[in-house]
Structure 1
C-alpha cells in the first residue's frame, strides 16, 4: 500500500471498525487519506468502502507481526491509537491473563506501532493521538486492570511528547468520558445498569474533537484534552 502520490495528510486509525474509529473515519473522509486498521471482516470492509479508506489488518495481540503488516506504507502523517479492550472486575477476581491481555492491547500494541511508524511521522512532522479514557486519570473500584493500562498509555504519550518535540511531532492524549459505543453497552451490562445512549457522548462529537486536534494549526500543540458528556436537558 503506497500513498506517497497524494498531498493530503495520511492518517492511520486503529480500531477503525468500532464506534469512535468509524465515526472518525467518516469525519476525515475526503480531506485525509485514510489507513483503517482492524481485525478485518465485514465491518472494516464496510467502513473502508464508505470512506475510501485503505484496510490494514492487524492483530493487536501479536506485535511481532506489525513490521510486516506496515512494510508497504509509503507515507503516514498522523496515527490515532483508538483500539482498546475493557473488562471490569475487582483486583481480587481478575487473574494474570486478564491483566496481560488488557496491557497487551491497550499499551504494548500502541507502543510498538508508535516505534515502527515514528520514522514516517517524523518525516511529515505529524501527530500522534492517543485515545485514552477518564480511567487513565482516576482509577475506580472494579476498573483496576483497565485503568492501569490507560495510566501506562498516558505515560507512553507523555514520554513520546518530550522525546519528539524537537522533531516537530505533536502528541495529544484525549480522555473521553462515557461514549455511546458498543463497548459502553458492554460496560453498562457488566455494571448491571441500563444502557442509555443519549446520556453519553455521541461518537461523532468525539470524532469531530479528534479531527480538530489533527487539523489544528502548527503554531499550537494540544497536549491533553478531556471530553465529558454535556448536561442533560
Structure 2
C-alpha cells in the first residue's frame, strides 16, 4: 500500500520537475550566456532566473516529455516485451494496443518512481525554495537519471558511441556525457528487450509452429482445431 501511495505521489509531481528532466541533457555552461534573464541573488550566493523565464522553460519542456519517456526510462523495454509476448501467445489483438500501452506506462512510472522522487527532492524542491541556482538544479536532477541509465547500459555500447563521437577516453563512468550515454542506453534497452524475447518467449512460438506443422500432416486437421492449438 505504501508503494502505491508513493507511486501516485510521483505521478502528481511529474509535471513539476519535467523541465528539470529535459534540461538536464544540456550543458550547464550554455545557460551562462544569458545574464539578462537573471533576476535576484539567492541567500546562499548565486543568482536565479526570473519567474517568466522559468515558466517559459517549463512550458517548452512539456513538449519533450514523450521523447524523455521513450529515451530515458524503461518504457521502451517494457512495451517491446509486452508486444512480443502477446504475439508469442498467438493473440495479436488481445489485449488491445491501448491496454498494452497503458500497462507499459504505469509499469514505467512504478519502476521510475524512486528516480523521480530523488529528482524532486534533490533538484526541484531546493530550486523552488531558492536554495540553489538553476545550474545546480540541472546538475542535481541529472544525477539520479544518469545513475539509472548507467546501470542498464552495456559497456560495449558506451564504447561504441564514444568511438563514433571521437570522444577521448573517460576516466570514470560518471564522466560520460549525456550525448553518449542516452543513445548507448537506448541501444542497450533494445538489445535487452529482444534478448528477453529470444530466450523466454521464442519457445512459445517455436512449439506453436511445430504443432501446426504436425496438424497439417494429419487427416484429422480442421480449421477450428488448428486455431485452438495456435492460440494456446
Please confirm whether the aligned pair reaches a TM-score higher than 0.5, indicating the same fold. Answer: no
When normalised by structure 1's length, the TM-score is 0.23
- Give the alignment's TM-score, normalised by structure 2: 0.23
- For the pair shown, the structure with the greater C-alpha radius of gyration is 2
